[in-house]
Amino acid sequence: MAKGYWVSVYPAIADPERLTAYNELAGPAVQAAGGRLLAGGGQVVAHEAGITQRVVLVEFDSFEQAVAAYESEAYQKALVALPDGVERDFRIIEGTD
């Protein structure tokens, strides 16, 4: 079974301190759903039209688990806390076996 991944890129974060409220809810929600943070908030070297701002990568045991985690009540509560000033490109992708 192929793993599932959340890939989030943040082109703009108007208020980084308000992002903390989202992170405090999202982290436990992701862990409870079986997600493992592989990368988040570290250094980025971008090429072509790449974005050097925050990038987050979360791994799940399956694509279906990744989708279910996003749809979970706990993660939906975290999304409500995501500040208006945060621009985010979020994707759920299926890994290769």
* 37-90: pLDDT as tens digits: 999 978 889 899 887 888 999 999 999 999 999 999 999 999 998 878 889 999
Structural contact between residues 4 and 92, judged by C-beta atoms closer than 8 angstroms:
yes
Domain count, the chain: 1
In this predicted structure, what is the pLDDT of residue 64? 97
d(C-alpha 41, C-alpha 10), whole Å:
10
Parent domain of 86: 4-94
Predicted confidence at residue 2, as pLDDT, reads 94
pLDDT for 12-44, tens place per residue? 889 888 888 899 999 999 999 999 999 997 888
Sequence-separated (6 or more) residues with CB below 8 Å from residue 58: 5, 6, 30, 35, 36, 37, 38, 40, 66
